[in-house]
């Protein structure tokens, strides 16, 4: 996969706006992950080192395994009475790793109405009409990589306190340096962060080795219920509200299972269908590398990367959504087969 050029003009525009700021609110997407939080916390610490007022206000709580990334006073969960005035007072609002404006959740309207300048730092594909200063680099390994360019432009040294959240975001979003977007530049950044004080084994254990027995059992049952189609090349699992209630787990506790689908021999694509309401389903899809999933995601108003996307299907019955998505994936597998066959003949 080609490594995207660093858009230096956009990086400088973001850095200039941050240098001119006095009060910055940083946020991320619903249920922020290691890249969203790691990017935000690294930026907060950099801005505070420059004498700025900066904190993260999240539209939702975060998974337990990423809580080691922030210190008291750096991460708060949205409360209308407390945070709406703070959002109005901020002269800059930054969204990191957003993946779509709608993923601001209950903060979307307050962010839209806030008078401050709005910056987005991201590597997902979507329309970012809300932001007057966008820095969105599709094909970059992570939002952590993108924000590292901003920190360099700001002239902020990479301390251990900044290196740790950046490494967490970089490592998590590259699948521990295994995904397609893992470039030489990403690996160089990883080496730089380790040299600055990030501890790879500690960060890996915090992010990957803190899962509860309940969550592991849920994963096991989901994998046991996996449906296999198209000669073993297309797999999917459906999670309805009865499953969540039975196991006393939150929807977020099932998200990660889709990442395990690509570990199966011969699987080209896999999908998780998670029921949020009677006619509302969260869909996460992964590709082994031959199928570009972005057109599918965009057709439902979602986004992501070429080989990892997500979207929410509204006004479609839960029992119907698979019939909308799976045939598209099956057809894309066949198209990829035919293209590969023609290339071999040529």
**Whether pLDDT at 265 is above 90:** yes
Res 39: pLDDT: 98
**Whether pLDDT at 323 is above 80:** yes
How many percent of the chain have pLDDT more than 70? Answer: 99
Q: pLDDT, tens digit, for every residue of 51-71?
A: 999 999 999 999 889 999 999
How many whole angstroms separate alpha carbon 324 and alpha carbon 231? 19
DSSP 262-313: GGSTT--EEEEEEEEETTEEEEEEEESSSS--HHHHHHTT-EE-SSEEEEEE
Enumerate domains of the chain plus CATH numbers.
Answer: 8-208 (3.90.1640.10), 213-345 (3.10.310.30)
How many whole angstroms separate alpha carbon 336 and alpha carbon 78? 44
Res 1: pLDDT: 64
How many whole angstroms separate alpha carbon 150 and alpha carbon 11? 6
Question: Does 166 or 100 have the greater pLDDT score?
Answer: 166
User: Strands of 92-96's sheet, edge to edge?
Assistant: 75-77, 53-58, 23-27, 92-96, 117-122, 133-136
Give the model's confidence band at 346: pLDDT under 50 very low, under 70 low, under 90 confident, else very high: low
| Residue 60: strand, helix, or coil | coil
Q: How many CA atoms lie within 13 A of 243 on its CB side?
A: 18
- Judge whether 249 and 215 are in contact, CB under 8 Å: yes
Instruction: List the helix and strand counts (H, then E) for the chain.
Output: 12, 12
| Residue 80: strand, helix, or coil | helix
Res 302: pLDDT: 85
Q: Which two tokens stand for residue 301?
A: 């108003």
Q: pLDDT, tens digit, for every residue of 179-216?
A: 888 999 999 999 999 999 999 999 999 999 988 888 89
Map tokens 């950099």 to a residue. 46
Res 211: pLDDT: 84
Q: What is the arithmetic mean of pLDDT over 116-131?
A: 89
DSSP 217-241: HHHHHHHHT-EEETTTTEEEEEE-H
Q: pLDDT, tens digit, for every residue of 126-185?
A: 777 899 999 999 989 999 999 999 999 999 999 999 999 999 999 999 999 998 889 999
Give the model's confidence band at 3: pLDDT under 50 very low, under 70 low, under 90 confident, else very high: confident
């Amino acid at each position: 996969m080609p490594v995207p050029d660093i858009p230096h003009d956009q990086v400088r525009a973001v850095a200039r706006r941050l240098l001119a700021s006095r009060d910055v609110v940083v946020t991320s997407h619903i249920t922020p992950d290691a890249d969203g939080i790691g990017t935000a916390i690294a930026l907060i610490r950099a801005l505070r080192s420059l004498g700025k007022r900066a904190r993260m206000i999240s539209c939702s709580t975060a998974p337990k395994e990423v809580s080691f990334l922030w210190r008291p006073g750096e991460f708060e969960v949205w409360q209308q009475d407390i945070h709406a005035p703070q959002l109005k007072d901020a002269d800059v609002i930054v969204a990191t790793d957003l993946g779509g404006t709608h993923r601001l959740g209950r903060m979307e309207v307050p962010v839209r109405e806030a008078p401050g300048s709005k910056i987005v730092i991201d590597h997902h594909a979507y329309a970012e009409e809300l932001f007057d200063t966008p820095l969105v680099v599709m094909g970059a390994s992570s939002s952590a990589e993108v924000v590292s360019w901003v920190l360099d432009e700001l002239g902020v040294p990479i301390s251990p306190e900044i290196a740790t959240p950046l490494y967490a975001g970089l490592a998590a979003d590259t699948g521990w340096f295994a995904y397609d977007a893992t470039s030489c530049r990403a690996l160089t950044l990883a080496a730089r962060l380790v040299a600055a004080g990030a501890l790879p084994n500690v960060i890996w254990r915090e992010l990957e080795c803190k899962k509860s027995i309940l969550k592991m059992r849920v994963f096991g049952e989901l994998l046991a219920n996996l449906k296999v189609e198209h000669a073993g090349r297309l797999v999917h699992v459906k999670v309805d509200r009865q499953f969540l209630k039975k196991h006393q787990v939150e929807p977020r506790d099932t998200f990660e299972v889709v990442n395990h689908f690509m570990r199966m021999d011969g699987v080209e694509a896999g999908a998780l269908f998670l029921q949020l309401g009677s006619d509302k389903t969260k869909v996460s899809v992964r590709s082994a590398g031959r199928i570009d999933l972005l057109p599918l995601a965009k057709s439902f108003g979602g986004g992501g990367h070429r080989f990892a996307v997500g979207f929410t299907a509204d006004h479609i019955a839960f029992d119907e959504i698979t019939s909308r998505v799976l045939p598209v994936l099956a057809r894309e597998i066949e198209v990829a087969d035919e293209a590969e066959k023609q290339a071999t003949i040529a």
